[in-house]
Structure formats: structure tokens, C-alpha cells
Amino acid sequence: MHSMMTGGLVGLALAVVLYFFEYAAINRAVKERAQRKKVRTVALEQSERSRLRSLGWFCLVLPFAGAGMGWLLA
């Protein structure tokens, strides 16, 4: 397989795993906050939405960066 494709796929895999774990951590924090406030559901705060949005943009760039690194290292 071409080194750029390998780097891109590795970057994509890292991006998916990173976003999944960050989303799970934020979701767990929201559920804990709902339990503390003794309500059934609590919406995401602006800072949490901002964190997910900025991480999403980073995860979109990560496969391209991985492809570039694969090309450089080959």
C-alpha cells in the first residue's frame, strides 16, 4: 500500500478513536451533572459544544496530516 494512503488511514483511525473517547467523556460528565442536579436530562454546555466542534475540525485535518507524514517518512 502506498505510504500516503497508510498514513491517511492511520490518521483517520486516530481521529475516530480520539473523537469517540472525547464524546464519551463529555457525555459521562453531562450524565453526572444531571444526577447532581437531580434532573433527567441536561443539555451540553457551550464550552462542551465548543470542545467537540474544535476537536471535530482537528479530526478532519488529522488524516491529511497523517498522509503528509507518511509521505515524508517514506
The helix-helix angle for 3-37 and 46-73 (nearest 10°) equals 160
CB burial of residue 8 (10 Å; 0-12, 13-18, 19+):
buried
pLDDT digits (tens, 9 = 90+) for 34-50: 999 888 888 889 999 99
For residue 62, the tally of other CB atoms under 10 A from its CB is 20
pTM across the whole model:
0.86
Average pLDDT over residues 9-35: 95
Tell me what pLDDT residue 42 has: 84
Q: What are phi and psi of 47, to 5 degrees?
A: -65, -35
C-alpha 63/C-alpha 1 separation (Å) is 16
Tell me what pLDDT residue 4 has: 93
